[in-house]
Structure 1
Amino acid sequence: MTDIDLTTTNEDGFDTKSVIGDFAVAVDPMNETGPNPNEVLVADYASCFLPAVRMGAQKNGLEDPGKMEIDAEADLDDHDNLESIRFTLKVEADLDDPEELVEIGEQYCHVHTALRDGLHADVTVVDDAF
């Protein structure tokens, strides 16, 4: 059984359109028609981390963090590969142990878990497909 099913299309040039259920996402490595893949990955990571923190705080009986926001920064190497990612997590609540939210986010964020060595797509090429 497949848990995630989507289609990403590139007609020409470099931009792509991914259809994920009822949603479409445009990604363009040239930053002309949409954000580039590295930007999307960092945004996806931040978009996973925030709800993971909230859910983990609830599960652990912690104070509701209130409004949250992540300012994300990333560095690229000379080949435009992600080299590092930094988050500044801003929360509305006055917390007893702010670092506890980092541990919770890392524990429950699926993107955080996925960013590991060895997780790569298993690619099969089908030619003369269109």
Structure 2
Amino acid sequence: MADITVSSTSEEGFSTTSRVGEFELTIDATNENGPDPNQTLVADYASCYIPAFRVGAQQNDYDDLGKVEIDAEADLDDDDDLSAIRFDMRVEADIDGDEDTLVETGEEICHVHSALKEELHADISVDGDAF
């Protein structure tokens, strides 16, 4: 039995609607009716990395990071395949000196990070005490 099931349907064109449990997500290769697959992957990566970073912070005695934001950027090659991903993070808490440790711990915990080929792992910069 599968741990995750998704039902995806495309009635016409290049837009696909996926049902994940009770949620619905529209992804459109033309970027007209929703984000395209590459945009969705980058957003999914960032959305997975933030809670992983929070868990890693808790494991390193930071119980409350406050607000955490990621501005994600990605590069595409000539075939429109992702070739690089970058995260610029801002963290409300003062984590001065522990950024690298927290980034590494977050990478170890993040499921999307683990699923991507290594050359697509995000290049992450963190700015603590940012808000």
Note whether the superposition's TM-score is higher than 0.5: yes
Matched ranges for 1:8-47 at <5 A: 8-47=8-47
In structure 2, stretches of 5+ residues that fail to align are: 119-131
- Say yes or no: does 1:98 pair with 2:105: no
State the shift of 1:93 in Å. Answer: 0.8
Determine what percentage of the aligned residue pairs are the same residue.
58
State the shift of 1:89 in Å. Answer: 1.0
| Counterpart in the other structure of 2:54 | 54
Give structure 1 regions of 4+ aligned residues with deviation exceeding 2 angstroms: 59-64
1:88 partner letter? D
Aligned residues: 117
Please tell me the root mean square deviation across aligned C-alpha atoms, in Å.
1.2
User: More relative contact order in 1 or in 2 (CA 8 Å, sep 6+)?
Assistant: 2
Moved more, 26-35 or 91-100: 91-100
| Counterpart in the other structure of 1:74 | 74
Q: Normalising by structure 1, report the TM-score.
A: 0.85
| Counterpart in the other structure of 2:110 | 109
State the shift of 1:63 in Å. Answer: 4.6
Greater Rg, structure 1 or structure 2?
1
**Mapped partners of 2:8, 2:36: distance in 1:** 14
| Counterpart in the other structure of 1:5 | 5
**Mapped partners of 1:10, 1:63: distance in 2:** 44
**Mapped partners of 1:60, 1:94: distance in 2:** 13
**Mapped partners of 1:76, 1:19: distance in 2:** 27
Q: Normalising by structure 2, report the TM-score.
A: 0.85
* Helix, strand or coil at the partner of 1:84: strand
**Mapped partners of 2:3, 2:87: distance in 1:** 28
Deviations 1:91-127 (A, max 9, x none): 001113112221111010000000027xxxxxxxxxx
Which has more strand, going by share of residues? 2
State the shift of 1:55 in Å. Answer: 1.2
In structure 1, stretches of 5+ residues that fail to align are: 118-130
